[in-house]
Structure 1
């Protein structure tokens, strides 16, 4: 168990051993900062304020730790996620100053060759894909026995966090997020890759409004006969969103399982709850046997026609679903302009996302729908401007009347 530092000098010694700061930066800090505080916490606070340490790094330093702050050329800045198959860190390339996300395989997991293979399978699946709606993979590395994947870092929130913070999303916004995810999945499916674990936690929306599909840890190249999806006969995926054929360990499960997963995700975004509730066993049975309660019965602002689209995505038999993610996109796009409770359209596609949707659905007639969405958005903006102008004019007239009245009173 490491010994926590008690003095400022002890903190600086750990910072040097951890190699979390350039020597020049640390020297400059010591030159400018004046006398170092005598206590460890005060010194750590001063280092955070100077940008030498992040709060995450300072917390570990104050615990007496100096190992694990670097992986290869990357400095660990913060922990941003955790799961059964790895912890995700925000990191920075020491030389390039580029921020990235590192997914690190836990030490115990790395002792099992099957887990290591699954980890590298995720890297291979991610490396095969290049699409604006899929997080980009840069590298896979083993540094002194630690395996980690290097991904692009996206500043944003996963949809499960949005649900936790806001509750269910406006209809148009929910549809636009799922349309983007479906565009990314269509690209993956075209490459023969099925995700197998689409859920709100694996969809991240950036500050620019672009949705990224994350975590290909369960992915399989379903066109490779030697690695058929579900061939392990294990129920893969997350219980709230898993397709019936995944629960049955069906070797014929393919990319259409992703369409079911995505439909269950959309249902959750629209209604604030997953398709089925109860115990894990009850949900597993319901996915296979029970019809889902229509979304419009739960939330009356969900159009019945959209509810029908979701039910097709959630069909028990894969043959009854949309057969491609592109077909799901075509069915969903008309609902992006569904007004929210204030009567405002909440769905929109950033230009890059709109181009990606157009490319991913080549051969389907989505161009007119996208143009209609743009036209409706422009009309909504014009209506807002008109309302503001009318409101301003009325306010001006009222102010003029009040001023004139006041002047007449004063003249009397």
Structure 2
């Protein structure tokens, strides 16, 4: 007796079930395909897309996969049924949703063919490009590929900027920077291949209302400062240091990403072309970037790192506002005072507060001059010591760096010596006073004698 039609549909359970089909292939294999020609690798990406969009739960996807594997095992040689077909039959997806998913996959496969690379999945989208996870076929390595947006790929200026980003990235090679691998153009599409870094950004944690412990924040800031030091040594400034561009790797590392706004400090032509333009992210932008100055240097990156560090330990941005213009104005306006970070979070040390306030000085002359100076103070904080540079006046710092012993000699004299010196000074003053009296008497006597004559 034949089973009812409904019996042929999978039963969906919210409990994830693990089952592997006899015809499944390892990730990356192109030999195992379902009835719709999807490789197991493509199907894995499809599953993630379905779950990420909220079209189905992980448990529903796994239940459909288990049902499909069971059906394939019952009749040997039966082609592996499409997961999408199974999900539609189970009424997890509608036919319309399946059609859109297949259409998007087809368009993506058609658009994103980069010679030497296999696109795996989309990671994110920025103002200039879309970033994909991919496999570099020649060395079987996972990489990230940034592809210039279609609309911008028709504009020579954006193409030039995109290519410049790749060239700048190629100048850098550091453990705390996402490194460049390749760049080029294929089929009218401009791409930039870089190191794939797996892990959340600082922004991901902040979005969950996480406030970082002082030592963790200092360690991360020190790693970014090392990256900025490397860039500065090669004549580069990042100009967009912010939580979204700092990746925390699974092995505890820190990577500074996105050189889309980076600039060579020595490129005067480039600087003049951007004169008057506020380039950066409002919550973390330096005052000189807001003003569109052409002589922006590494101190702008130190300011942006300070704003990021402030956000990490307080859970708040240094300056907020109803719109970007209001926020940027506060970065520049000397009448708008920064709320000390150790006032918002009393759990951090006063030394930490001093370091952040020095980084966020609106007058760049009062900030750390170089990443080395910042790293020195961050090392002090890690050791539980007060910062050596933060909070010092520029004049005293200069004297300290020059080793001006005369200015600091009093601090080397103990109380007994000070008392002895005071005695000598008093005795000298008494002698001077006595001589003055004698001189005065002599003058008076001479005057009287003259009058008498």
TM-score normalised per structure 2: 0.63
Partner of 1:93: 136
The CA deviation at 1:64 is 5.8
Structure 2 CA distance for aligned equivalents of residues 305 and 203 of structure 1:
24
Partner of 2:389: none
Contact 1:267 1:273 in 2 (8 A): yes
Kindly indicate whether residue 278 of structure 2 is the aligned counterpart of residue 235 of structure 1. Answer: yes
Partner of 1:253: 296
Contact 1:175 1:336 in 2 (8 A): yes
Q: Which has the higher contact order (CA 8 A, sep 6+)?
A: 1
Kindly indicate whether residue 327 of structure 2 is the aligned counterpart of residue 286 of structure 1. Answer: no
Equivalent in 320, 326, 329 of residue 375 of structure 2: 329
Structure whose CA Rg is larger? 2
Relative to structure 1, is the Cα distance of residues 236 and 34 closer, same or farther in structure 2, using a 3 angstrom cutoff? Answer: farther
Contact 2:209 2:315 in 1 (8 A): no
The CA deviation at 1:61 is 3.4
SS in 2 for 1:156: coil
SS in 2 for 1:155: coil
Deviates more, 1:231-240 or 1:125-134: 231-240
Structure 1 CA distance for aligned equivalents of residues 381 and 174 of structure 2:
24
Relative to structure 1, is the Cα distance of residues 43 and 68 closer, same or farther in structure 2, using a 3 angstrom cutoff? Answer: farther
The CA deviation at 1:89 is 0.9
Relative to structure 1, is the Cα distance of residues 40 and 132 closer, same or farther in structure 2, using a 3 angstrom cutoff? Answer: closer
Kindly indicate whether residue 256 of structure 2 is the aligned counterpart of residue 213 of structure 1. Answer: yes
Contact 2:35 2:79 in 1 (8 A): no
Equivalent in 298, 312, 321 of residue 344 of structure 2: 298
- The C-alpha deviation readout for 1:289-329, integer Å capped at 9, x for no partner, is 12210001000011112111111101111111101011111
Structure 1 CA distance for aligned equivalents of residues 230 and 313 of structure 2:
25
Kindly indicate whether residue 355 of structure 2 is the aligned counterpart of residue 309 of structure 1. Answer: yes
SS in 2 for 1:167: coil
Contact 1:230 1:250 in 2 (8 A): no
Partner of 2:191: 148
- After the TM superposition, which parts of structure 1 deviate over 6 Å for at least 4 consecutive aligned residues? none
Structure 2 CA distance for aligned equivalents of residues 59 and 43 of structure 1:
16
- The C-alpha deviation readout for 1:341-399, integer Å capped at 9, x for no partner, is xxxxxxxxxxxxxxxxxxxxxxx9xxxxxxxxxxxxxxxxxxxxxxxxxxxxxxxxxxx
Contact 2:275 2:293 in 1 (8 A): no
Please list, as runs of the form range in 1=range in 2, the aligned pairs for 1:371-382 lying within 5 A after superposition: none
Partner of 2:175: 132
Equivalent in 173, 192, 196 of residue 239 of structure 2: 196
Contact 1:20 1:70 in 2 (8 A): no
Equivalent in 85, 102, 111 of residue 154 of structure 2: 111
Equivalent in 61, 78, 101 of residue 102 of structure 2: 61
Equivalent in 118, 124, 131 of residue 75 of structure 1: 118
The CA deviation at 1:10 is 11
SS in 2 for 1:109: coil
Structure 2 CA distance for aligned equivalents of residues 229 and 130 of structure 1:
28
Number of residue pairs matched? 311
Contact 2:35 2:82 in 1 (8 A): no
Structure 2 CA distance for aligned equivalents of residues 104 and 69 of structure 1:
9
Structure 2 CA distance for aligned equivalents of residues 336 and 78 of structure 1:
39
SS in 2 for 1:173: helix
Relative to structure 1, is the Cα distance of residues 243 and 97 closer, same or farther in structure 2, using a 3 angstrom cutoff? Answer: same
The CA deviation at 1:180 is 0.1
Contact 1:36 1:43 in 2 (8 A): no
Please list, as runs of the form range in 1=range in 2, the aligned pairs for 1:335-346 lying within 5 A after superposition: 335-336=381-382
Unpaired runs of 5+ in structure 2? 1-31, 44-68, 89-98, 385-400, 402-453
SS in 2 for 1:265: helix
TM-score normalised per structure 1: 0.69
SS in 2 for 1:130: coil
Partner of 1:354: none
Cα RMSD after superposing both structures: 3.0
Relative to structure 1, is the Cα distance of residues 271 and 13 closer, same or farther in structure 2, using a 3 angstrom cutoff? Answer: same
SS in 2 for 1:263: helix
The CA deviation at 1:226 is 2.7
The CA deviation at 1:230 is 7.5
